[in-house]
Structure 1
Amino acid sequence: MNANKEVLPVIDCDVHNQFRSRNDLIPYLDEPWRSHAERFGIPGGGLPYASPIGNKRKDANPPSGLPVGSDPHYMLEHLVKQFNMDYALLCSDSIIGLSGFADSDHVAAVCRAYNDYLIAEWLSVSPQFKGYMCIGTQDPAEAAREIDRIGPHSDIVAVCVSGGSNMPYGHRYFHPIYEACERNGLPLVIHPGSEGSGIFNAPTAVGYMSNYLQWHTCLPQTFMAHLVSFVCEGVFEKYPGFKVVFCEGGVTWLPPLLWRLDKNFKALRASTPWLKRMPSEYVRDHCFLTTQPIEEPDDFKHLESMFNMFDAENMLLFSSDYPHWDFDDPTKILQRLPIEKKRKIFSENARQLFNLK
């Protein structure tokens, strides 16, 4: 057998569990939010653009008739077993966007309800499901309390927030969140999906694009800004055990950004006297990126060259984005990488980062 065709274990770091309906959360809400939700529904974050091809895989419809992504038993059959997955790490993109909703108390209540719902109705179904808890970023002190409440649960492996924000995430305003993450041994996962909506800033540095294609293409701008902010604001010096995962924002933008940041730091380091190392060193030790959507050019050698420009084999985490339209099949992507690099990317990096057996 060709060694590169060996069947590898997979840990999928971006699987989207969906609701049967948003009313699923009502039993988990405290008053007065429960009564409010029964009368008016539960607010939801959302994109400022409509995808012309929808958002879900057509073949992911459960035989039960439930909405795509809402049947945990079908997800185990259709995704986890089919692709030899050790774990599927669940991320609710419909909840993280709530940080764009202006009422921070309401958002905190919905996030608490979601985290309890996640544990009760998904993580209890199979030990192969692990969860990213959700928080609202509008009130970092309240977010830290929620991390302390839910973070110790053995099946919660990370804290998830939206890439959308009204300031870069390195800003000290957000530091109570990172302190709580470090205290609980949980990475922070930044996921796109609501940039430009609600109280968030525009999704690009020059404002709003005209359509979904442009918005989707420009998502790395947000990740670049957050990454530079984390480093230059000294977050990784202040919280040396803190880790960040940049999820679903591409990969190949990283090397040229780090070259530029290191170059500028050499001349302008007086503005960041708290940094004791080169910026790229902090990124190498504290930051991870997920593979989906991987930029695979026609000539694989070009991608391989980009991987050689940063510590890709130790910084990348496999993700499929199931059940979304741009799902990446683990049996098809990155097939030309050496087997040991694939083993790290497809499972071992995640196993270590999320402390999975």
Structure 2
Amino acid sequence: MKTDDKRLPVIDCDVHNQFRSGRDLIPYLEEPWRSHADRFGVPGPGLPYSSPIGNKRKDADPPSGLPVGSDPSYVLEHYADPFNVEYALLCSDGIIAVSGIADPDYAAAICRAYNDYVIAEWFPVSPKFKGYMCIAMQDPAQAVREIDRIGPHPEIVAVSVIGGSRTPYGDRYFHPIYEACQRHNLPLLLHPGAEGAGIFNPPTAVGYVTNYLQWHTCLPQTYMAHLVSFVCEGVFEKFPNFKVVLCEGGVTWLPPLLWRLDKNFKALRSSAPWLKRMPSEYVRDHCFMTTQPIEEPDNPKHLEAMFDMFDAENMLLFSSDYPHWDFDDPTQVLRRLPEEKKRKILSENARKLFHL
């Protein structure tokens, strides 16, 4: 008998927790940052684009009057419980963008405060809540210390960073971070949201676009550059147990990128003599992608065909992006897939990756 889609277990790899107010982090900041934030607020990198339709689902407003996504009990009531979500993996809304702040010490302090905040104020509410710790990429030494401090916590399942950067993430400058992730058996999760802000590079290969529509559409460019860098700089050869999750960047760009990379590598392998396998093999074994926002062609068979072009049933993780405007309902996405493939994407791949 076919299982009701709504009752398939769900592990949601992208649930955004918000703050009740801009002052939530202040008790968790150490001095001198606490006094500074108390007077001027917690800084952000300054986003260059805003959505013309807003960023949140209107039906996700808690009855308590708190901001959308800031009431953990209502997240459970409104989303996790009705949709059979076993685990909601919390991804900080905004804090991961602190890598765009010029001051590396302040950015690292904000990450430490957030990590302590989510451990103290979200995890105790329900065992369904697990989380991604935040690090700031400006100073790998401080990032490594934070991974060593927070990484052993049983409710922390990954390390999260923003897609925006001044350097592709395969660069050797970042390798100590990946060594620490491997040491604690924590995947690195990349999430978009601040490309082009603060000290980050422009959000596209040719500079700044003029509006949110163009920015949002071009986000996969960033992931393409990071992924090629991870592979060609030998990150997965150097750290054989290190995993990367490309969250909220689409999926259908992956096959043609890997075709191009494999073809070029056959002629240019002397550029990366440390690679012992084809680039696509490293991606297949070390990288994951999340479903939201899944591409939606007019002909659904075209998406199914794209899934057949890479190891989708083993590389995809379900994500809803709750409570954002482009939320994906776990009972509606992937409806045409066979049940066992759908089960793997909705929960089993994440269960294995995050050791749940």
> TM tier, shorter chain?
over 0.9
TM-score norm. by structure 2 comes to 0.99
Contact 1:46 1:193 in 2 (8 A): no
SS at match of 2:25: helix
Q: How does 1:38-57 map to 2 (within 5 A)?
A: 38-57=38-57
Shift of 1:79: 1.0
| 1:321 aligned partner | 321
Deviations 1:91-111 (A, max 9, x none): 013101110000000000110
Letter in 2 for 1:144: V
| 1:70 aligned partner | 70
In 2, Cα distance between equivalents of 1:283 and 1:246: 11
| 1:84 aligned partner | 84
Contact 1:4 1:339 in 2 (8 A): no
Contact 2:5 2:331 in 1 (8 A): no
SS at match of 2:89: strand
| 2:298 aligned partner | 298
Shift of 1:154: 0.0
Letter in 1 for 2:279: P
In 2, Cα distance between equivalents of 1:45 and 1:119: 24
Letter in 2 for 1:8: L
In 2, Cα distance between equivalents of 1:116 and 1:270: 46
| 2:265 aligned partner | 265
SS at match of 1:158: strand
Contact 2:108 2:142 in 1 (8 A): yes
Shift of 1:50: 1.2
Deviations 1:76-127 (A, max 9, x none): 1111101101000000131011100000000001100000001000011111
1:291/1:103 Cα in 2 relative to 1: closer, same or farther (>3 Å)?
Answer: same
Q: How does 1:193-212 map to 2 (within 5 A)?
A: 193-212=193-212
1:59/1:46 Cα in 2 relative to 1: closer, same or farther (>3 Å)?
Answer: farther
Contact 2:158 2:354 in 1 (8 A): yes
Letter in 1 for 2:208: Y
In 1, Cα distance between equivalents of 2:38 and 2:287: 41
SS at match of 1:39: helix
Shift of 1:297: 1.1
Contact 2:6 2:330 in 1 (8 A): no
Q: How does 1:1-357 map to 2 (within 5 A)?
A: 1-3=1-3, 5=5, 7-356=7-356
In 2, Cα distance between equivalents of 1:24 and 1:4: 40
Letter in 1 for 2:30: D
TM-score norm. by structure 1 comes to 0.98
In 1, Cα distance between equivalents of 2:221 and 2:136: 22
Deviations 1:31-60 (A, max 9, x none): 111111111111123431011000000000
Shift of 1:7: 2.5
In 1, Cα distance between equivalents of 2:80 and 2:45: 28
SS at match of 1:289: strand
Size of the aligned set, in residue pairs, is 356
SS at match of 2:138: coil
Long gaps (5+) in structure 2 = none
Contact 1:12 1:88 in 2 (8 A): yes
Contact 2:10 2:85 in 1 (8 A): yes
SS at match of 2:38: helix
In 2, Cα distance between equivalents of 1:45 and 1:352: 34
Moved over 2 A (4+): 1-7
Letter in 1 for 2:347: S
In 1, Cα distance between equivalents of 2:264 and 2:274: 16
Contact 1:4 1:338 in 2 (8 A): no
Paired-residue identity, %: 79
Contact 1:46 1:94 in 2 (8 A): no
In 1, Cα distance between equivalents of 2:43 and 2:6: 45
In 2, Cα distance between equivalents of 1:83 and 1:47: 32
In 2, Cα distance between equivalents of 1:76 and 1:6: 16
Contact 2:196 2:203 in 1 (8 A): yes
In 2, Cα distance between equivalents of 1:93 and 1:187: 19
SS at match of 1:288: strand
1:46/1:354 Cα in 2 relative to 1: closer, same or farther (>3 Å)?
Answer: farther
Contact 1:95 1:111 in 2 (8 A): yes
Deviations 1:224-275 (A, max 9, x none): 0000000000000000010000000000000000000000000000010000
In 2, Cα distance between equivalents of 1:39 and 1:341: 52
Letter in 1 for 2:148: D
Deviations 1:276-301 (A, max 9, x none): 00000000000000000000212111
In 2, Cα distance between equivalents of 1:271 and 1:51: 41
Letter in 2 for 1:259: W
Letter in 1 for 2:338: P
Contact 1:135 1:161 in 2 (8 A): yes
In 1, Cα distance between equivalents of 2:19 and 2:93: 11
Long gaps (5+) in structure 1 = none
